[in-house]
Amino acid sequence: MTEILIDNAITDTETARLAEPAFSGALSFMRTRYNKDVTGADVAILGLPFDGASSNRPGARFAPRSIREASASFDCEPQYPSMLDPFRTLNAIDFGDCFIDFSRQLEAQPQIYSTVLSLLKRCAQVISIGGDHSVTLPILQAYAELRGPVAIVQFDAHPDVWGDSPNRVSHGTWMRQAIKKQCVRKDNSIQVGIRTYVADDIGMEVILAYDAIDLSVVELADRIRSRVGTAPVYLTFDIDVLDPAYAPGTGTPVAGGFRTDHALRTLWELRDLDWCGMDLVEVCPPYDLGGTTALAGATVVQHYLQILAAKKSTFGHVTGQQFVGLD
Ligand SMILES: [Mn+2]
């Protein structure tokens, strides 16, 4: 028989992409090519194996592997709902994971910052997978350093604006710090799905969970869009915005959240925003059931990649606010 080479994560080229079994092979995100050189890429995908700042259940360090494994089912075909194979259009590279020394927890944030900074000097966007929510702060610092402050759309059960003190890293304080460090365009930012209380409110626009769930997808997207406007916008998607019935594998679950489809459809509805990057955080595989949470997380990223692919196939590039009509 002819020898057939699988492992697109290693072998992928423009001309020789092969659908490979979902249950075997090297696991990059959606089997896209692994490369430490991201020069000129539209997207670098970066794993963040860190859970040292979780206030409750640790385990998000395992999320990059788990999300890559869940994403294997999306290999090599046109994807729903765009019906595009995003990698036919996008130059997307899986950079692998950020190095984080488990014995030097306070060095994790500077490590993430310098890794993202280095990636953003070479490619258009970074998508990070895994980690507790503390990872978002150094990512935003890198964005702000190179490109100025960004608007934020935060899907989350928690506002993450709890108070903090120096030399303390928590997954519940990054937003307060990001605003203090002027990484965020607060007037264009919005938090969606919140169902926890912080006394010291920072005046961020919030759509609470029950209100968000009561709105149709189009109404919810309109509320978000009217806040963000034409600003470059960064998506931080905490998987705990979903109800624990849909995402049990997370660090600090809160009942009463979104169904998976409501969140996915809202993101898809917002494909005209000027997205500049995203993270997918708080997937905690040790508490997952049947890979449900990892699959939901992988699907959020799969939708985001489709948005970029749709933009690029229509406009030739992935930035800017453009209506992407695929219906
Ligand atoms: Mn959260």
Cα–Cα distance for residue pair 114/254, rounded to 1 Å: 33
How many angstroms does the Cα of residue 237 sit away from the middle of ligand 1?
Answer: 9
Cα–Cα distance for residue pair 21/7, rounded to 1 Å: 9
- How much is the average pLDDT of 155-170? 90
| pLDDT tens per residue, range 59-117 | 999 999 999 999 999 977 899 999 999 999 999 999 999 999 999 999 999 999 999 99
Q: Is residue 62 part of a domain?
A: yes
What is 27-90 written as a DSSP string? Answer: --GGGPPB-S--TT-SEEEEE----TT-SS---GGGHHHHHHHHHGGGTTS-BTTTTB-HHHH-
Q: Is residue 320 part of a domain?
A: no
How many angstroms does the Cα of residue 6 sit away from the middle of ligand 1?
Answer: 37
Q: Is residue 165 part of a domain?
A: yes
Q: What is the dihedral of CA 96, 153, 308, 17, to 10 degrees?
A: 30
How many angstroms does the Cα of residue 14 sit away from the middle of ligand 1?
Answer: 38
Does position 11 have pLDDT exceeding 90, yes or no? Answer: no
Start-end of H helices in the chain: 8-11, 63-71, 86-89, 108-120, 136-147, 174-180, 209-214, 217-228, 260-269, 292-315
The confidence score (pLDDT) of residue 303 equals 98
Domain range for 215:
28-315
How many angstroms does the Cα of residue 118 sit away from the middle of ligand 1?
Answer: 27
How many angstroms does the Cα of residue 281 sit away from the middle of ligand 1?
Answer: 8
Listing from the earlier edge strand, what are the strands of the sheet with 205-208? 92-97, 43-47, 125-129, 274-281, 232-238, 151-155, 190-194, 205-208
Q: Is residue 324 part of a domain?
A: no
How many angstroms does the Cα of residue 86 sit away from the middle of ligand 1?
Answer: 29
What the block records as the tokens of 296 is 């939901």
- How much is the average pLDDT of 115-124? 97
Q: Is residue 321 part of a domain?
A: no
How many angstroms does the Cα of residue 77 sit away from the middle of ligand 1?
Answer: 32
How many angstroms does the Cα of residue 62 sit away from the middle of ligand 1?
Answer: 17
3 state DSSP class of 269: helix
Q: Is residue 6 part of a domain?
A: no
- How much is the average pLDDT of 218-235? 97
Cα–Cα distance for residue pair 42/92, rounded to 1 Å: 6
Q: Is residue 251 part of a domain?
A: yes
Q: Is residue 2 part of a domain?
A: no
Distances (CA, A) of 104 to 14, 28, 173, 266: 40, 27, 20, 38
CATH of the domain at 220: 3.40.800.10
Rg (CA), the chain: 18
How many angstroms does the Cα of residue 207 sit away from the middle of ligand 1?
Answer: 14
3 state DSSP class of 165: coil
How many angstroms does the Cα of residue 158 sit away from the middle of ligand 1?
Answer: 4
What's this model's pTM, rounded to 2 decimal places? 0.96
Q: Report the number of distinct structural domains present in the chain.
A: 1
- How much is the average pLDDT of 158-168? 88
The confidence score (pLDDT) of residue 4 equals 81
How many angstroms does the Cα of residue 16 sit away from the middle of ligand 1?
Answer: 40
How many angstroms does the Cα of residue 159 sit away from the middle of ligand 1?
Answer: 7
How many angstroms does the Cα of residue 253 sit away from the middle of ligand 1?
Answer: 8
State the pLDDT confidence band at 200, using cuts at 50, 70 and 90. confident
Percent of the chain surpassing pLDDT 90: 82
